[in-house]
Amino acid sequence: MTGPGSFASRMAGLAAAAEAAGALGPSVDRYVERVLVTLRRGGKLLLCGNGGSAATAEHVAAEYVVRFRRERRAFAAVALTSGGAVLTAASNDLGYAEALARTVRALARPEDLLILHSTSGDSPNLLRAAEEAKAMGVATVGVLARGGGRLASRVDLALVLPARETALAQELQLALEHAVVDRVEAVLAGEDGADAGAPGGAAHAPGTAAHVPGTGDHTEPREA
């Protein structure tokens, strides 16, 4: 089947949008650096979103905590949307717009990084979460679409994907996040390996080696 709505047409649209998103390269580099700074100083990544963007936040948090393509230490990451009891209690008692802000207030510290995913950039609960983070001195990144909405001006770094359609924006969000975690993992795995081989560091076990950033020495994910 060809034509509008076909699989081929869908893939062509995704490919075109992905190519256009390549222009975000410098902003993605800045995003990677913010994540690296956060994890190097012992901070944690706090990720959130609504609906499909919440699923992206949880997916990405799992990549950091478990692994993406390399065997390495766990990185501190929490999806703020994963606690159903907290979210529903806060929504019931305080209103849905305050639910994520309340969690930010409870968990965030100045050394952390709040990462907000939104296809509209206008979700009240995300706007409030960004405001709360700013008041606490917590850095923020927005992975956005549709021009970025109001959230683009309320985060420290906004990455606005070239997509108007919600599904396409969500697909690009995940692709961008995979690129970021891949680079972060490569850099930190290389640094940890160098530290382990240094005097006073833990030696590598026989038959193992540090992963060096930029090489093709990767372990593929075990999960689909």
DSSP, res 119: S
Query: Can you give the pLDDT at residue 219?
Result: 43
- Rounded to whole angstroms, the Cα distance separating 102 from 81 reads 12
d(CA 113, CA 133): 9
pLDDT of residue 192: 80
Bridge partners for 141 per DSSP: 115, 157
CB 25 within 8 A of CB 93: no
**pLDDT for the residue numbered 83:** 85
What is the chain's pLDDT, residue by residue, as a tens digit (224 residues)?
566 779 999 899 999 999 999 999 999 999 999 999 999 999 999 999 999 999 999 999 999 999 999 999 999 999 999 988 999 999 999 999 999 999 999 999 999 999 999 999 999 999 999 999 999 999 999 999 999 999 999 999 999 999 999 999 999 999 999 999 999 999 999 888 765 544 333 333 333 333 333 333 334 444 44
Sign of CA dihedral 197, 203, 207, 213: negative
Segment holding 92, helix H or strand E: helix 84-94
| Residues 23/24/30/31 CA torsion (nearest 10 deg) | -150
β-strands 157-160, 139-144 pairing: parallel
Q: State both tokens at 136.
A: 């606490």
Q: What is the pLDDT of residue 2?
A: 64
Q: Can you give the pLDDT at residue 199?
A: 39
Tell me what pLDDT residue 5 has.
78
How far is Cα 202 from Cα 159, in angstroms, rounded to an integer?
Answer: 38
> According to the model, what pLDDT value does residue 198 have?
41
C-alpha 182/C-alpha 63 separation (Å) is: 9
Nearest to 128 by CA among 151, 159, 161, 158: 151
pTM score of the predicted model: 0.84
- Residue corresponding to tokens 């222009």: 23
List of domains in the chain: 23-191 (3.40.50.10490)
**CB distance 141 to 57 below 8 Å:** no
**Cβ(170)–Cβ(191) below 8 Å:** no
Distances (CA, A) of 67 to 63, 78, 152, 182: 5, 14, 29, 9
- Using N-to-C axis directions, what is the helix angle for 166-197 and 52-65, rounded to 10°? 10
